[in-house]
């Protein structure tokens, strides 16, 4: 029952995405809710199409089990008038025992380049926690970036690298720990691989 309801909501949005109107903007929304003996599910999906070829759909839903546990999901996807596309999705689960779990991601492409990011977070019933996130981007003129962050219980590490359109590069790392501060190292090189001062 819960799965069927969420699929119906998503389908309503996808129908709106698949039928753009070139001469007028249009917006369609669908809502739904189902109550069950052990909880329920509620959600909404919205689709739109614009006058210049842009169109998209987004939706969200919440599910509960009547025992203190809940899960929320959301997502969106679409295209822009200049030919770009985008999408995102996320899921968060909260437990009656105090635990939390979250995962999310997003990606986009367009005339100026593309990028994506994804990450997660977890908190355990005892209060300990940890997470990570990675991000990357590529420019239409050759530039690029990549970064990754991991952390747990007050300590973490972030690494990153970047390449400029002229071939110069940067790579670095930052670490931190609760009560001990942070340290950072970084190196820059020119297009031939020679180390140069970072600006």
Three-state DSSP string of the chain: CHHHHHHHHHHHHHHHHCCCCCCCCEEEEEEEEEEECCEEEEEEEEEEECCCCCEEEEEEEEEECCCCCEEEEEEEEEECCCCCEEEEEEEEEECCCCCEEEEEEEEEEECCEEEEEEEEEEECCCCCEEEEEEEEEEECCCCEEEEEEEEECCEEEEEEEEECCCCCEEEEEEEEECCCEEEEEEEEECCCCCEECCC
Indicate if the pLDDT at residue 111 is higher than 60.
yes
Evaluate whether residue 123 is within a structural domain.
yes
Give per-residue pLDDT as tens, 134-178: 999 999 989 999 999 999 999 999 999 999 999 999 999 999 999
- Tell me which residue has tokens 């219980």: 153
Instruction: Return the CA Rg of the chain.
Output: 22
Indicate if the pLDDT at residue 22 is higher than 60.
no
List Cβ neighbours of 10 (8 Å cut-off, separation of 6 or more): 45, 57, 59
Phi, psi of 30 (to 5 degrees): -135, 135
Evaluate whether residue 72 is within a structural domain.
no
What is the residue-averaged pLDDT of the chain?
86
Evaluate whether residue 44 is within a structural domain.
no
Give per-residue pLDDT as tens, 82-102: 999 999 999 999 999 999 999
At 40, is the pLDDT very low, low, confident or very high (cuts 50, 70, 90)? Answer: confident
- Residue 120 is predicted with a pLDDT of 98
Query: Looking at the 3D structure of the chain, how many domains does it have?
Result: 1
Evaluate whether residue 40 is within a structural domain.
no
Name the residue range of residue 180's domain. 97-199
Indicate if the pLDDT at residue 179 is higher than 60.
yes
Average pLDDT over residues 47-69: 91
Record the pTM: 0.80
Evaluate whether residue 127 is within a structural domain.
yes
Question: Is residue 5 within 8 Å of residue 38, measured between CB atoms?
Answer: no
Evaluate whether residue 167 is within a structural domain.
yes
Question: Is residue 78 within 8 Å of residue 107, measured between CB atoms?
Answer: no
Evaluate whether residue 74 is within a structural domain.
no
- Residue 199 is predicted with a pLDDT of 82
Evaluate whether residue 157 is within a structural domain.
yes
């Amino acid at each position: 029952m819960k799965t069927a309801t969420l699929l119906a909501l998503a389908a309503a949005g996808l129908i709106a995405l698949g039928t753009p109107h070139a001469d007028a903007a249009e917006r369609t929304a669908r809502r739904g809710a189902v109550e069950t003996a052990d909880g329920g599910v509620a959600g909404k999906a919205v689709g739109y199409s614009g006058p210049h070829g842009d169109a998209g759909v987004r939706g969200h839903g919440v599910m509960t089990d009547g025992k203190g546990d809940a899960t929320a999901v959301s997502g969106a996807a679409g295209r822009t008038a200049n030919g770009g596309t985008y999408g995102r999705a996320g899921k968060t689960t909260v437990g009656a025992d105090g635990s939390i779990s979250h995962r999310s991601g997003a990606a986009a492409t367009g005339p100026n380049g593309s990028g994506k990011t994804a990450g997660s977070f977890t908190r355990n019933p005892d209060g300990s926690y940890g997470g990570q996130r990675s991000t990357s981007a590529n420019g239409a003129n050759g530039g690029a970036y990549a970064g990754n962050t991991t952390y747990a219980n007050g300590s973490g590490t972030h690494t990153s690298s970047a390449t400029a359109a002229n071939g110069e590069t940067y790579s670095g790392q930052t670490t931190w720990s609760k009560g001990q501060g942070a340290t950072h190292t970084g190196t820059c090189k020119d297009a031939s691989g020679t180390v140069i001062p970072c600006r």
